[in-house]
A = this chain, B = another copy of it.
Amino acid sequence: MTSSTPLPRIGFIGLGIMGSRMAANLAAGGFPLTVWNRTLATAEAFAADHDARVAGSPAELADVSDIVVTMVVDGDQVESVLLGPDGVASGARPGLLCIDCSTIGPAAAQRIAAGLDPHGIHLIDAPVTGSAPRAADGTLTIMAGGAAEDFALGRSVLDAMGRLVLHVGPLGHGQTIKIINNSVAAANALTVAQALLVGSDAGVDLDSLVAVMEAGSGSSTMLSLKAGPMRSHDFTPLFKLAHMLKDVRLCLDAAGVPFDAAQAAEDALREADELGFGEDDFAAILEAVERRSDRRL
């Protein structure tokens, strides 16, 4: 993008752990930015820190934006801020592009796109992977589904928030890939938790077990990221267990063929959630594994 091309005006909805960091990168990238958040004080604090404006409603935000980015918790929230009373659709001009970075599953993405269509608003589903530190660094992986021309229009915005930005196919396919990825992550984390407990129960040196797995066929990103927190039972949230449980359920709902590893992860995440670990990092899936065998690492 050359300096002569004016940057699109961005409206950003959802300033949580991820959204606040993503929006900060848009502000740092020079995009004119208007924000809205369900809790007004959060939006005002963000705007003061990042030279952004605060809108009084999603409709007002849409009125001053070329592209609206949403980063909220689930499909109901996306539907509410885009299509509900005082929602984006009620304030937008035709030609507005919505980029939803939330994880809501392919069915909700299709349903919301169908609701936006009569307003002349296009949707890209562009869920992200990578937790808060990568959101802060602008190094998220972003998998976008939608029409090629919409992806081209939103590309500069996505590039400001992510490092690997892929147009993966038509609308909804970003969602499908995201929830499969997260289900694999959850399954691999469950496997790590079980392996650590088996090793601990056998009395082997867990440093050696982890070192051997790291060096070869047993390695995974989940081993690298979660074995340490599991061993110290430090579940400071990078990605909340309740959110991972939601994503795995979306995947199981969408899957047309059995996904037994994801089902096993769903079972264990649900148990850990019921044990009270929903607000903790999903490394707390270990708690369900420990509970089942009545052993602790």
A residues contacting B by CB (< 8 A) are 106, 129-130, 141, 143, 164, 166, 168-169, 173, 176-178, 180-185, 187-188, 190-192, 194-195, 197-199, 201-205, 208-209, 211-213, 215-223, 225, 251, 254-262, 264, 292-293, 295
| Neighbouring B residues of A209 by C-beta, 8 Å | 168, 177, 180-181
Please give the count of copies of this chain that the complex contains.
2
| Neighbouring B residues of A187 by C-beta, 8 Å | 187, 191, 261
Task: Please report the C-alpha to C-alpha distance between residue A229 and residue B100 in the assembled complex, in whole angstroms.
Answer: 34
- Are A184 and B195 in contact (CB-based, < 8 A)? yes
- Are B168 and A261 in contact (CB-based, < 8 A)? no
- Are B177 and A208 in contact (CB-based, < 8 A)? yes
In whole Å, how far is A242's beta carbon from the nearest beta carbon of chain B?
Answer: 17
- 3 interchain residue pairs of minimum CB distance: A220-B220, A185-B217, A168-B208
Task: Please report the C-alpha to C-alpha distance between residue A169 and residue B207 in the assembled complex, in whole angstroms.
Answer: 11
In whole Å, how far is A210's beta carbon from the nearest beta carbon of chain B?
Answer: 10
Smallest CB gap from A258: residue in B: B293
- Are B141 and A215 in contact (CB-based, < 8 A)? yes
11 A-B residue pairs with CB within 8 Å: A143-B212, A168-B205, A169-B208, A173-B204, A176-B199, A181-B213, A182-B218, A187-B191, A190-B261, A191-B191, A201-B257
Smallest CB gap from A257: residue in B: B293
Smallest CB gap from A184: residue in B: B218
Task: Please report the C-alpha to C-alpha distance between residue A216 and residue B292 in the assembled complex, in whole angstroms.
Answer: 29
- Are B180 and A195 in contact (CB-based, < 8 A)? yes
- CB < 8 Å neighbour of A198 from B168, B188, B255: B255
Task: Please report the C-alpha to C-alpha distance between residue A213 and residue B219 in the assembled complex, in whole angstroms.
Answer: 14
Task: Please report the C-alpha to C-alpha distance between residue A65 and residue B254 in the assembled complex, in whole angstroms.
Answer: 62
- Are A216 and B257 in contact (CB-based, < 8 A)? no
| Neighbouring B residues of A183 by C-beta, 8 Å | 195
- Are B181 and A211 in contact (CB-based, < 8 A)? no
| Neighbouring B residues of A182 by C-beta, 8 Å | 217-218
- Are B264 and A215 in contact (CB-based, < 8 A)? no
- Are B221 and A173 in contact (CB-based, < 8 A)? no
**In the complex with contacts A129-B215, A202-B176, A212-B177, A259-B195 CB distance below 8 A:** yes
In whole Å, how far is A167's beta carbon from the nearest beta carbon of chain B?
Answer: 8
- Are B191 and A188 in contact (CB-based, < 8 A)? yes
